[in-house]
Amino acid sequence: MVTQKRWPVLVGGGLLNVALGTYYAWSVFVPALEKDFGWSRTQTSLVATIDMVMLASMFLVAGFLQRRFGSRLNAFIGGLLFSAGLFLASWTTSLPMLYLTWGVLLGAGLGFGYSAPIAAGSRWYPDHLGIVNGLAIGIFAAGSGIFGPIAGVLIDQVGWRVTFRILSVLFFAFTMVGAYLLADPPPDYQAPAPALKSATKPRRPTDVPTSEVVSTTTFYVLWIAYALGTTAGTLVISQLVPFARAAGWGRQTAALAISVGAAGSATGRFFSGWMSDHFGRLFTLRLMVVASMLATPSLYVWRQELLLFFGLLFVVYYCYGTQLSVYTALAGDFWGIKYLSTNYGLLLLAWGFAGILGPLIGSRVFVATGSYQDAFIGAAVVAAAALTLLVTVSPPRVPEAAAVR
């Protein structure tokens, strides 16, 4: 057995994810781009959709590469593509160019980079899947809360083009150092025995190959529930600054809303990861989907009351962030760690679908009605459908793939 320090992988994942997570602050750039080019809300919202689809699809590609070449290479590729996409976006003169740089290139970097801390962290910390994945993914969410307001100030002072260039150089440094620290454990590594048992660790899950996972009913039920459950979050994220401005709040309040949302998402990813380690993954997911179902329409109703606006925004993001961390750990519980990068990669495509559905609902409803009311109510209905599916799921007592043979 090889005993090594595990903490460097957490530092590396943190540096990588705090940079990559700044893509969540996309809406802070929307007003300046729409003003300069005259683009519509639907046109600018498509950038967030492309990012999310690329993240989800490239995460799966990165999963296959990770099993052969390791997490560090994925992290280097992710950081390079992300920084290059942001840098090249500063020369944008047309929508296709924006979609190619900030959308396709930056989004591909997100997929490769996002996969690395999850894969490496799960291998170093199989005894704490929930909290470790929650920490890695939580820092990803915190990036927009840290750099979103900074970007807002820079846009006012030097313009969005120079802001893109400044951030790209900074993020290149962050991601390269982070990638260097993201080494996988050696083949004979064994994690320390857990100090206590939790609700989600009655047994060590059998490693189920991806080809067998996709033959199970549970996978498809979770996939649809994941897609529907995260739609409310992707809707609000893609429209946050325009939504806040439409509610009557000024530029500073709208920018602060990004930080509040990022804090909620990061807190949900971390704390709910810990919660799921102790009280169960499915219990945590069901609870958070119920909260999202109630908070999303309430956010619209009380959008003009500042404290309620920030409080409900925090809850919506909290519930959204919870799902991203807990579904990751749930995939490890159900199907094991060995194939986690590809098993969860397929599951993450559901989140990519939510990245299409949420912004599409938000932008199309706003363009058609001049209001976000029906969009927020629709997101609650979609969350209710996700809850209905999650109620039908239970942890496999034996490797599920074996049961369907």
How confident is the model at residue 356, as a pLDDT? 84
Does some domain include residue 356? yes
199 assigned to some structural domain: no
Phi, psi of 189 (to 5 degrees): -70, 140
Q: What is the pLDDT of residue 103?
A: 93
Q: What is the CATH number of the domain that holds 227?
A: 1.20.1250.20
Q: Is residue 194 part of a domain?
A: no
How many folded domains does the chain comprise? 1
- Assess if residue 197 is contained within a domain: no
- Whether residue 195 is contained in a domain is answered as no
Domain housing 149: 7-189+207-403
Q: Indicate the burial class of 226 (C-beta count within 10 angstroms; 0-12, 13-18, 19 or more).
A: buried
In a domain, 169, yes or no: yes
Indicate whether this model's pTM tops 0.85. Answer: no
pLDDT score recorded for residue 237: 80
Structural domain contains residue 221: yes
pLDDT digit string (tens) for the chain, length 405 residues: 445 677 788 888 889 988 998 887 887 898 899 999 999 877 887 898 898 889 888 988 888 887 788 889 999 999 999 999 999 999 999 999 999 999 999 999 999 998 888 878 877 887 676 777 777 777 777 787 788 888 988 999 999 999 999 999 999 999 999 999 988 887 777 766 555 444 444 455 578 899 999 999 999 999 999 999 999 888 888 788 889 988 899 878 887 888 888 889 888 888 888 888 888 999 999 999 999 999 999 999 999 999 999 999 999 999 998 998 899 889 988 998 888 888 988 998 898 889 888 888 888 898 899 899 999 999 999 999 999 999 999 887 654 444 444
Which residues on neighbouring strands pair with residue 2, listed in sequence order?
189
Determine, yes or no, domain membership for 268: yes
pLDDT value for 13: 86
In sequence order, which residues have a C-beta less than 8 Å from that of residue 159 and are 6 or more positions away? Answer: 32
